[in-house]
Amino acid sequence: MPGRRKTRTRTKVLWFARLEYRFHSWRERRARARGLRPTVTPFPGYASSSWVRVLGRVLIVPPGAGGRSAEQTGVRGWRSFVAIPVGYAQVTVMIGGERHDVVADRGGVIDTVVPATLDPGWHEFTVSVENGDPIQTRAFVVGPEVRFGIVSDVDDTVMVTALPRPLVAAWNSFVVDEHARQPVPGMAVMLERVARDRPGSPVIYLSTGAWNVAPTLMRFLRRHVFPPGAMLLTDWGPTHDRWFRSGPEHKLANLRRLAAEFPAVKWLLVGDDGQHDEAIYTTFASEHPRNVAAVAIRRLSPAEAVLAGGRSVVDDHTAADVPWVTDSDGAGLLEGLADVGVVTD
């Protein structure tokens, strides 16, 4: 019976998710018994003039790695994955002189919206857990007059990773730090030029990577002079109905959320043709054509396409009247965006 098989599968996944939570709870108790305490690793968020999306994660980290922002914490790949997530932690957010008490999810991830009245631009605020030292983080406030924004993929779009190849992915995630990772040629210049051409525009890095690698990713972006932006990653592991979270669903859900939160903003969507970006952007553009300014797709080299598991097969982009630009690097994409009027010559 198909229905019965589906129910059994969901039951097994739900059981495994509970087991994962119990395992982390056991690790948390042992760490607290040794005198270790949780801290918040915050990530840059975004906001409107009346609310802020606060992002971060509550972890028990090795001694000496806490009390700093995610961009300052020097925890290399594999250490970030063995840090202990603190599920359902009570977190205090201080922003605009107001205190907000929020709760992390089962995996210690903070992804919540709090009210705040702020002017456009970057704003700093603090987060803390269990009366610990406040840790500074920030969010970019999108002004009510802004009509343009940038959403960019990360893997093989701004950073050469060949992520789907298991051994390379493991090496990049668990061993290599940001100094050894290579940027895609010209992509930092392209994103910086577009952002500079549209003052006040938000930049959002939307990736299927795990929150564990966010500190390394933020240091990489800063080192290679990419424009600062909010981070929207995901949490690895089981959910209530699947063994691992769906990367395409994560991206599409966040794009739809941005369209609902900023209905007047048109987004430049930047990705690559390695796997799902073209299909995701095609779906979103057909659903929300008024929220897409253009799509810029980086073409992988033949070698990169092999490492990435092939290319996407979306050839029909006529579902919405949206300009599509493709090239192999940032310089070519920038030239194409100038041709379609997204940036000035």
- 254 and 288, same structural domain? yes
Residues of 27-42 as b/e, b for ≥16 C-beta within 10 angstroms? bbeebeeeebebbbbb
Angle between helices 277-287 and 247-261 (to 10 degrees): 30
d(CA 326, CA 298): 6
| Torsion of the alpha carbons at 105, 216, 53 and 195, rounded to the nearest 10 | -160
- 90 neighbors 35 (Cβ within 8 angstroms): no
- 96 and 80, same structural domain? yes
- 132 and 226, same structural domain? no
- Is a pLDDT exceeding 50 seen at residue 304? yes
Token pair for residue 24? 């982390």
- Per-residue pLDDT band for 322 (boundaries 50, 70, 90) equals very high
pLDDT at position 303, please?
Answer: 59
Higher pLDDT, residue 14 or 152:
152
pLDDT at position 21, please?
Answer: 74
- Per-residue pLDDT band for 338 (boundaries 50, 70, 90) equals very high
- 197 and 181, same structural domain? yes
- 191 and 91, same structural domain? no
What is the residue range of 260's domain?
Answer: 148-339
Residue 193 lies in a domain: yes
- Average pLDDT (71-84) is 57
- Per-residue pLDDT band for 69 (boundaries 50, 70, 90) equals very low
Q: Is 287 helix (H, G, I), strand (E, B) or coil?
A: helix
- Per-residue pLDDT band for 243 (boundaries 50, 70, 90) equals very low
- 321 and 193, same structural domain? yes
- Per-residue pLDDT band for 281 (boundaries 50, 70, 90) equals very high
List, as one string, the DSSP characters of 85-117. Answer: E-TT-EEEEEETTEEEEEE--TTSEEEEEEE--
- Average pLDDT (101-125) is 95
pLDDT at position 25, please?
Answer: 87
Q: What integer best gives the mean pLDDT of the chain?
A: 83
- Per-residue pLDDT band for 320 (boundaries 50, 70, 90) equals low
| Chain segment 171-181, per-residue pLDDT in tens | 555 545 555 57
Lowest mean per-residue pLDDT among 57-71, 75-89, 148-162, 323-337: 57-71
Higher pLDDT, residue 300 or 186:
186
| Chain segment 195-220, per-residue pLDDT in tens | 999 999 999 999 988 887 788 889 88
- Per-residue pLDDT band for 22 (boundaries 50, 70, 90) equals confident
- 103 neighbors 89 (Cβ within 8 angstroms): yes
User: What is the number of domains present in the chain?
Assistant: 2
d(CA 158, CA 160): 7
Token pair for residue 233? 């990653």
- Is a pLDDT exceeding 80 seen at residue 114? yes
d(CA 245, CA 243): 7
Most confidently predicted of 18-27, 81-90, 202-211, 232-241 = 202-211
- 192 and 236, same structural domain? yes
Dihedral angle sign, alpha carbons of residues 212, 175, 169, 271: positive
pLDDT at position 309, please?
Answer: 53
Of the candidates 92, 108, 141, which is a domain's last residue? 141
| Torsion of the alpha carbons at 256, 161, 39 and 58, rounded to the nearest 10 | 40
- 157 and 47, same structural domain? no
Residue 15 lies in a domain: no
CB atoms within 10 A of CB 136: 12
- 120 and 174, same structural domain? no
Most confidently predicted of 22-31, 187-196, 237-246 = 187-196
Q: Which helix (H) or strand (E) holds 318?
A: none
- 199 and 59, same structural domain? no
pLDDT at position 312, please?
Answer: 56
- Average pLDDT (120-140) is 96
- Is a pLDDT exceeding 50 seen at residue 95? yes
Residue 89 lies in a domain: yes
Lowest mean per-residue pLDDT among 60-64, 272-276, 327-331: 60-64
Residue 23 lies in a domain: no
- Is a pLDDT exceeding 80 seen at residue 339? yes
